[in-house]
Amino acid sequence: MSPWTLFLLALGVSADAFAVALGKGLQLRAHVLRTALVFATAFGLAQAIMPLLGYLLGSTFAEAIAPFDHWISFGLLALVGGKMLWEALTPDAPVDADHPAHVHDTEAFRAREVVLLAVATSIDALAVGVSFAFLDVNVWVAIAAIGFVTFALSFAAVFVGFRLGTRFRRPAEILGGLVLIGIGVQILVEHLTA
């Protein structure tokens, strides 16, 4: 996998974390730097650990799956990318003013919330990690790239959310979904034409 493709993959899987960090930035009234560091660290670590777990799972069954591994990689990336597109293009449910979906506190985060959000936004990276077992990729470089890109984007997203609002959430999710589907198609075409 080329460095450019790896970078695009890292951008794609970090889109959910970016969107959540952006939303969290909107809730802030203070402690922006601390919140940005906490969320960026949690999201970056989760996005690095999940592909490793996926890779280990995929490697365990690599020999049995080798004849159709490119279809699995394509399917997983297309599924994750399609899900991101669906979520980005589906209208948000209206918020009931009497029962708000999110409770705003002065800290804008709690440890349990951070962990749950980090895991929830990194599930897609688990599926991407499974595909690493069937690709020519240095898994350690890939994991480091995904973790670093997610950290940087999440850190920036908290500040962007704090300053600008949710204007970029949907475009980021759409772009991330298209990138993942594109990489899946590229993998499929390369294997079928090799």
> What residues does each domain of the chain span?
3-90+107-193
Taking only the tens place, the pLDDT of each residue in 13-54 is 888 788 778 777 766 667 888 888 999 999 999 999 999 998
Q: Which residue has the higher pLDDT, 9 or 112?
A: 9
Taking only the tens place, the pLDDT of each residue in 98-143 is 444 444 444 445 777 788 888 877 877 888 888 888 788 899 999 9
Q: What is the distance between the alpha carbons of residues 80 and 162, in angstroms, rounded to a whole number?
A: 28
